[in-house]
Structure 1
Amino acid sequence: MHKTIRAFFFTGLATVFLAANVAWAQPKPQPVPSSVNLAQNAVSAILIDADTGTVLYEKNSRLKLPPASITKIMTLLLVMEAIDRGKIKLTDKVRVSEYAASMGGSQIFLEPGEEMTVEDLIKGVAVASGNDASVALAEYVAGTEEAFVAMMNEKARQLGMTDTRFANSNGLPAPDHYTSARDIAIMSRELLKYEAITKYTGLYQDYLRKDTNRPFWLVNTNRLVRFYPGCDGLKTGYTSEAKFCLSATAKRDNFRVIAVVLGEPDTKTRNAEVAKMFDYAFSQYTTKPLYQRGDVIQELPVEKGERERLPVVAARHFNLLMKRGEDAGQYQTTVELPERVLAPVKAGDVLGHVVVTKQGQEVARLDLVAPVDVGAATFGQLWQRALNRLLHLP
């Protein structure tokens, strides 16, 4: 049995704490006027609100296509997850294998046996699109690139990326290596949950091996990070088969969008059409900041847990997406949580969710999560609690 708490958003008033781990399938695409052709030259494209996942524009977004180096978004996602879990650290030194150093195409010219930190390899992937750096990170996280690719495909499955199959960690041409604009938007949005990633994807230039006799100048393959205000990522791609591709993100105030284009004829057209998509989003939509990461919604009793109560928190910030000029009071929320939870509980477990509706139609669904682990209580703890209740002790 779920306890349902209903609340309403009014202009200037926010009364319910929400989390922003949004299920992709829920947001409904916003109607785009037929006269708007944002990605005329792209084979496939999509534009979404990064916070809610709402689709603002799409064109052939489910078409399965080679993604080239946009593949590296999934590589970076798994690396950031490994750092977040404590499996690896930014300061770890990675010894480069002969296989990683043998990668062709774009590279940072790693040599077999060379050591480079995880952080510098991330820069090599995010800024210079290094194929060798991608494989070095993949091997460090999973032992082999093959094992890492299995992790990539499993993560894609977990995220609902049903149009995707990865064959390598860097996007070099390979049989049965494909994805779609929709799926790229999904993994891009997931990567952006790690807010530190834009520290790297937003760099226009930097150096590797600064204090050696082999310095390497990094220049971002995504020129929009320099020339489009608010753009701070994510990843370009090119092969003769895939043509020119880009998954880009830009943020103004509290409003972040993700634009994906595949199969563009050249870099100039690619960048111009992504900029056009950004312009459309920022001119037509706005957001109302509501909640920050870690905001506590309420506490839930924990049955048979080592602790008796558990706060439910916002996984990250959440903004209400609206058309410009729209009244926030048109939106309603329903918060659904159980009466109690049963131990054990893991940090990040989804304990409930919030549904945002407008005129009775669902526009976003947000997960509510546990902030910490709660183990099962010992027999002694359970006995002491029963005794306390019997004696009316706190």
Structure 2
Amino acid sequence: MYIKKVFTVIIMFILIFNSLMCFADSNFDIQAKSAILIDASSGKVIYEKNPHEKLAPASITKIMVLLLAMEALESNKIKLDDKVVISANASSMGGSQIYLEEGEEQTVEDLIKSISLRSANDAAVALGEYIAGSEEIFIEMMNNKAKELGMENTNFKNITGLDEEGHYTSAYDVSIMSKELLKHKKIHQWLTVWMSSVKVGKEKDVVQNLVNTNRLIHDYKGANGIKTGFTRKAGYCLSASATRGNLTLISVVMGCKNSSIRFKESKKLLDYGFANYQSIPLAKKNIVVKKIPVQKGKIDSVEVIIEDDLSYLVKKGSTIDVKKEIILPSYISAPTPKNTKIGEIIYKVGEKEIGRVNLVVKQNINKASIKDSIRKIFKVMLGTI
């Protein structure tokens, strides 16, 4: 009986240990200086190898360039059809480029496309200068955004990712900015393109054919991003993303010995994630949760909606009992701008919190004028409200 009990305890310990470890097989190793695999929705880490080591990032630096460009587009600071005059500085960039001429004009859209597909240094600098006014100010914006996102092992010294003393990031930090970039749906229309072209030169008489440097877009099921990089110091790098069903994964490999290895190891990470994990949707963006009364407003009530999607990563075959708690006030007072947070939903498994989403108002709530208040009183008296 005693031996049976001991045996049972050992088996339970092994099962618990295996459930906590992403890779129990010690033979599983990634041929890179640093690597990570995360769930793009929750940011949960599935696998990591030297994730916080500071390394030269090469052109995966441009993930931050694309992120700031998406934010500038969504805030209407820039538009896709804006004409950007190419500076002498931008046209002088070496490395990967589309050979822009000083003084020529390019649209914001073609610059983004050239960065996404060819990783063009000249396009990246031109776009950064257009957004910020100068290369130096844009680099400052990049570092400020890195701090805001909690990228603790990152320091940008340039826009392109060319080797420079003090220019570094980590696989973990790359996964953070990659996750943030994928939240911007518009970027997918460029990241997922395999081949395209742009016309360059003052006369637009030269066609630059673009082929995506991320070959996973062409030959990996569900691939939808993100960015390659290579310099002698950095080695071969790749931040790759793919979606299958409800699950989107991001893998990052840095410091690979050749291009073939970075793609092979990225596939290996993504394959493992899709084979062993599933994503359970908990909340859907813009779904109406409740209608609550409005005090002193032009409207009598307002719909409350979920601010963002939320899902929970579990191992395949797992079953969980998720409970949710909705926290909302009994009413809201005018004025209140659209998308103001007024509550949240907390999701739990047992006593453990597994996530939460903000609840926001669906529309602007303007304060009622005296005329509105009188009209409302009459409606009440007439029984029409």
Task: State the TM-score, normalizing by the size of structure 1.
Answer: 0.82
Is 1:352 aligned with 2:343? yes
Equivalent residue in structure 2 for 1:197, among 187, 197, 206: 187
**Alpha-carbon contact 1:54-1:364 (below 8 Å) kept:** no
Correspondence 1:1-394 to 2 at 5 A? 31-35=21-25, 39-209=29-199, 212-301=204-293, 309-328=301-320, 330-340=321-331, 345-374=336-365, 377=367, 380=370, 394=385
Greater gyration radius: 2
Is residue 307–residue 357 contact of structure 2 (8 Å, CA) maintained in 1?
no
Q: Retained in 2: the 8 A contact 1:108–1:133?
A: yes
Q: Alpha carbons of 1:124 and 1:295: their partners in 2 closer, same or farther (altered >3 Å)?
A: same
| Letter in structure 2 aligned against 1:216 | Q
SS at 1:127 equivalent? helix
Q: What CA distance in whole angstroms lies between the structure 2 residues aligned with 1:46 and 1:320?
A: 19
Alpha-carbon distance, 1:113 to partner: 1.1
Cα distance between partner residues in 2 of 1:135 and 1:229:
32
TM-superposed deviation, 1:222: 0.8
**Distance verdict in 2 for CA 1:379–1:216, change over 3 Å:** same
Following the alignment from structure 1 to structure 2, what is the Cα–Cα distance between the partners of residues 354 and 181? 31
Structure 1 residues not aligned, in runs of 5+: 1-28
Greater shift after overlay, 121-130 or 161-170?
A: 161-170
Identify, as 1 or 2, the structure richer in helix.
2
Asked whether the 8 Å contact 1:46–1:59 carries over to 2, the reply is yes
- Give the match's secondary structure for 1:244: strand
SS of equivalent residue, structure 2 residue 206: coil
Distance of aligned partners of 1:65 and 1:51 in 2 relative to their CA distance in 1, 3 Å threshold? same
CA distance in 2, matches of 1:327, 1:287: 12
Which runs of 5 or more residues in structure 2 are unaligned? 1-18
Judge which range, 336-345 or 160-169, deviates more.
336-345
1:79 partner letter: A
Q: Which amino acid aligns with 1:235?
A: K
1 or 2 for the larger relative contact order (CA 8 Å, sep ≥6)?
1
* RMSD (CA atoms): 2.8
Cα distance in 1 for residues equivalent to 2:299 and 2:166: 49
Does the C-alpha gap of structure 1 residues 112 and 243 become closer, same or farther in structure 2, counting only changes over 3 Å?
same
What is the TM-score when the length of structure 2 is the normalising length?
A: 0.84
